[in-house]
Structure formats: structure tokens, C-alpha cells
Amino acid sequence: MTTDDTDRAQSFGAVADAYERFRPGYPTELFDLVTAYAGRPVRTALEIGAGTGKATRLFARHGVAVTATEPDAQMLAELRKHVPADVRTVHAAFEDVRTDTRYDLVYAAAALHWTSPKGRWSRMAALLEPGGVFASFGSPVNLADPAVDEAVRAAQAPYLASSEIRMPGGSPSGSGMQWPGTELQESEWFTEVRQTVIERRPTMSAAAYLGHLSTVSAYLVLPDQDREQVFRRIASVLPATVAVDADLTVHLARRSTRPVPEDHRC
């Protein structure tokens, strides 16, 4: 990652409580999609970059034994307030997770893009049982009304050109298979790559939308004074309620039966 990416990846802990309050959770439809794809019982799961445990709770309450990993101590502390007591939590980045245990499922909820590309897929394969499932899912929250979206972009322009995350190796939105599906299709460790979209079009108050923006890394890394000015300018152009596009894009892949050599168990 670039220095800017690293700064953004490490920015969430300071707003862990707001992240828990304003970030959307995940629907039961997601769990059903993952388990139907698996085609066999999913008893154990490893979560990468669990944040405050939004996805952790979904899988744990359906009986999956989840090990939730998170590199930010403040985010992990917030997670521990909200997940069942039997969820195992580990303070670690994906690159530091031990590969001596294999899981039925390894998944990342809006977190995979913060991991290092070096050895990503061989490490992922080393964490999965042969035939096990990898899942990645995320949902940018975008304003549905083009006029409101344009007004917000103009309001933030003096301080921030874009709040979007640069997805590694991705293809433009709407152009077919997206990242990480594009990389999974090329990986020798994974097969049966699938991309699915779960539609979500909620309406939220202007205050809730600003609360969500307060947890977005592009705003978090701004100097304090600039961030305050940006939010003040955005608030001035928002209607009382806003409709948003929060479609959840899900990528699924199956671990191939190809053995992972010991030197890939990094």
C-alpha cells in the first residue's frame, strides 16, 4: 500500500464508536448466500479485519464458530462489546495471522483492500480447508439523487477531490467482474468464482449520513480544521433525508484441492 493508503487503513480506531453506530450491518440474505454456495455445513470461520463486528454477529448468531481478527486495538475493543462471548478475537493483521488452523470459511467485510497483495491468495488458501469458501463483500454508501450527489461533491471539492477508495487491480464499476473476483479468477488456489449483488436502497436522515461520512477514511485523514469545514459545507447542501445506494457486492470462491506448499504458508 502507499503511505496514503496506510494512513487511511489506520484511521478508524479513533472513531470506533461512530463506526459501530453509523455503518450499516449485514442482512441474513448474505449468510444464506454464502452457505448455499458452500453446499456443506459451515462450522468454523476466520474473519479478516473484523472492525466493530458487524459481520461477525451475522455469522456467529447462525451458529458459526467465528475467529475475528482485527489489527486496530480500539476497533477490536469496540467489537468485544457487541459480539457473543464465544467469538474468539485476535489482535492481528491478516499478514500476521497464524496458518496452522484451517477453516470452512474465510471472509472479509469491507476490509480486503487494506491487505497486502504479496502472497494474499496463497495465504488465504493456507487458511482454508480444501473445498472451503472464501467470501469478500462490501457496500459503498452513495447518494442516489444525482443532484444531491453533485452538490455534495462541489461542497467538498476545496478540501477533498474524492472520498472513494482505490480498489487494487479492479475494473470500473458496472464493467462485469469486479475486484477481488478478477484476481480470484487468475489464482491457482481458487475455483468457481462468483459475483452477486444484494440490493439495498435505504433512506437516512442528513445527520445519519453525515455520521456515516465521519467514519470514511478519506475524511478521517484530513486535518481537523479542514474536516470540520467539509462537514459544515456538506450539511448546508443536504436535504432533511437522503436516499442512498448501498448495494452489497459479494465475491465467493472455492479453495481448490491443489496442495499449498509449505513455503506458501507464510
Helical axes 206-213 vs 224-237, angle rounded to 10°: 150
Pick the CATH number of 3-142+165-202+246-259 from 3.40.50.150, 2.40.480.10, 1.20.140.10, 2.40.37.20: 3.40.50.150
In the chain, % helix, strand, coil (3-state, to 5) comes to 40, 25, 40
Q: Answer whether 0.85 is exceeded by the pTM.
A: yes
Q: In Å, what is the CA distance from 74 to each residue of 57, 65, 207?
A: 18, 23, 24
Cα separation, 161 vs 20, whole angstroms: 26
Peptide bond into 180 cis (omega under 30): yes
Burial label for 153, CB within 10 Å (0-12, 13-18, 19+), is middle
Question: pLDDT class for 3, splitting at 50, 70, 90?
Answer: very low
What average pLDDT does the structure give for the chain?
Answer: 91
Cα separation, 222 vs 231, whole angstroms: 11
Cα separation, 177 vs 170, whole angstroms: 9
- Domain positions in the chain: 3-142+165-202+246-259
Location of C-alpha cell 475467529: 67
Q: pLDDT tens-digit profile of 171-215?
A: 555 568 999 999 999 999 999 999 999 999 999 999 999 999 999
Q: pLDDT tens-digit profile of 221-265?
A: 899 999 999 999 999 999 999 999 999 999 999 999 888 766 555
